Amino acid sequence: MSNRYSIFSLIKNGLSHNEKWGQAWRSPEPRREYDVVIVGAGGHGLATAYYLAKVHGVRNIAVLEKGWLGGGNVARNTTIVRSNYLWDESARLYEKSMQLWEGLSQDLNYNVMFSQRGVLNLAHTLQEVRDTQRRINANRYNGVDGEWVTPEQVRDIVPIINLNTRYPVLGGSLQRRGGVARHDAVAWGFARAADALGVDLIQNCPVTNIRTKGGAVEGVDTGKGFIKAKKVAVVVAGHSSVLAEMAGIRLPIESHPLQALVSEPVKPVIHTVIMSNAVHAYISQSDKGDLVIGAGVDQYTGYGQRGSFQSIEHTVQAIVEMFPTLSRVRMNRQWGGIVDVTPDACPIVSKTDIKGLYFNCGWGTGGFKATPGSGWVFAHTIAHNEPHPLNAAFSIDRFYNGHLIDEHGAAAVAH
Amino acid sequence: MLVIRCPWCGERAETEFNYGGEADIVRPTDAEHLSDREWGDYVFMRKNTLGLHREQWVHSHGCRRWFVAERDTRTYQFKSYEKLGAHAMEKS
């Protein structure tokens, strides 16, 4: 990498008043033909491009983005990373992702600020206690760390919590390796590292049609003309159904608005990630001090990148009930993203009936944590035209043969 | 919050309603001859339309009756409402 970041580059550029930092990536015009065209320059698409180039030695890759790079869900999530999923297939996939997270900053030469401050999933009812303990056991069998914590331990970890709420906290699971990462840096880090390996990142280039001929993909029509491609890989989250329709295939996906909000920056009060299924609240505190709160999905389908107010109200009520001291904290910003939800709350990382066309979608409300792992297995699927062992179970065929992986409510959070 | 016009009760707040997904999905009548592919299509596959979407709603905290609405999924604006059954009757 010509422009490698290090303590020396920091000193050198500091001495020249930080005026000589090079661009992090090029902005080339698209060529007429590529081996692989990836649609969508979000976290998953950029990670796919990076691992395709780095691990599988594929050169001649373009990533097409209709807006700006990293402007969709990778910039709109609540940045939580964990791998404590119940079922074997999911636990293995998300754990692979966790392992990649643990070396990601070094691998990309870009500080993604991955902070393993722990993820605490609270249990509020006797049934939830049993389910949580079962999940911890399942996690540990799968090599995913997890431990049961008592209400007293919860209070030690989060002193401001009110345990004796309407639904008292009876304990919880703690995954110490879980945490948060700086989401924009993840997109930028993958973009910069992919660009250094020769991947063309093309922004403001919407795909308007996927051309197929004789059951095989030919290329894509875009805002910048037709681009021929041997393989087309679609990673567009909320708009997956729209792209699928262009190719004439059907997906079991519904797109819903999902909202989040952040408060004004305050002094450190929450040192971990706290998630509560029963009252539906997720909260963590970013390094600059704002409280990051995730709401639930809106019930209706939509593409508007905004949701209804009562969804936010519901979440904030739960937050204030659990953390009464936060009742007067003012909220700074609120936004929505469009999440692609599957019937079993598990992703689709799959070949399709059309030769050379691949889909990576359906990550729903929990795609951010999977970013590196998703790119890793999708790159393998594209390069070998066969799924990686970790995503073989996540094929689109499962909706026809019945082998669903039901993470609804099982995966430590309700989706 | 959306304002939704129940065909029986008139305009009410969204919190009185529950969403019932894509409209006009008809359960196959020749179930015993259906392939896995056709069952999968019926049970799981959805149009997930970008734009005008025909969908079902139920006025759960009101008259508890179902109806079909057309709504733009980009702006969330409702374009029309019809009582459930009218369209199905027409189709059969």
B18 touches chain A (CB under 8 A): yes
Range of the domain at B50: 3-27+36-90
B48, B52, B58: best to mutate for the A interface, most A CBs within 10 A: B48
Length of chain A: 415
**What is the predicted ipTM?**
0.93
How much is the pLDDT for A3? 79
* Cβ-based neighbours of A140, under 8 Å, separated by 6 or more: A146
Per the rule left: phi > 0, alpha: psi between -120 and 50, beta: everything else, A280 is left
If one counts the domains in chain B, the total is 1
- Contact predicate A38/A61, CB 8 Å: yes
Q: What percent of chain A has pLDDT over 90?
A: 94
How much is the pLDDT for B90? 60
Residue B73 belongs to a domain with what CATH number?
3.30.2270.10
How much is the pLDDT for A412? 57
What's the whole-number mean pLDDT along residues A141-168? 96
How much is the pLDDT for B84? 81
On the question of pLDDT at B17 being above 70, the answer is yes
- Contact predicate A362/A240, CB 8 Å: yes
Lowest mean pLDDT among A14-28, A77-91, A397-411, B51-65: A397-411
Find, in chain A, the residue whose alpha carbon is nearest to that of B72. Answer: A302
Name every chain B residue with its beta carbon within 8 A of the beta carbon of A251. 45-46, 48
B3, B44, B58: best to mutate for the A interface, most A CBs within 10 A: B44
On the question of pLDDT at A95 being above 70, the answer is yes
How much is the pLDDT for A280? 86
- A146: which 2 tokens? 């997890």
How much is the pLDDT for B89? 57
How much is the pLDDT for A254? 97
On the question of pLDDT at A36 being above 60, the answer is yes
Residue among A241, A253, A400 whose CB faces B36 most closely: A400
Euclidean distance between CA atoms A207 and A243, whole angstroms: 8
A410 confidence band (pLDDT: 50, 70, 90)? low
On the question of pLDDT at A2 being above 60, the answer is no
Supply the mean pLDDT for chain B: 92
Residue among A251, A255, A302 whose CB faces B45 most closely: A251
On the question of pLDDT at A281 being above 90, the answer is no
In the block, residue with structure tokens 């006025």: B59
* Cβ-based neighbours of B32, under 8 Å, separated by 6 or more: none
Report the SS3 class of residue A237.
helix
A252 touches chain B (CB under 8 A): yes
Euclidean distance between CA atoms A298 and B19, whole angstroms: 10
A277 confidence band (pLDDT: 50, 70, 90)? confident
Name every chain A residue with its beta carbon within 8 A of the beta carbon of B41. 250
Q: pLDDT tens, A349-380?
A: 999 999 999 999 999 999 999 999 999 999 99
- Contact predicate A183/A371, CB 8 Å: no
A8 touches chain B (CB under 8 A): no
What's the whole-number mean pLDDT along residues A143-154? 98
What is the DSSP pairing of strand A61-64 with strand A200-202?
A: parallel
pTM of the model: 0.95
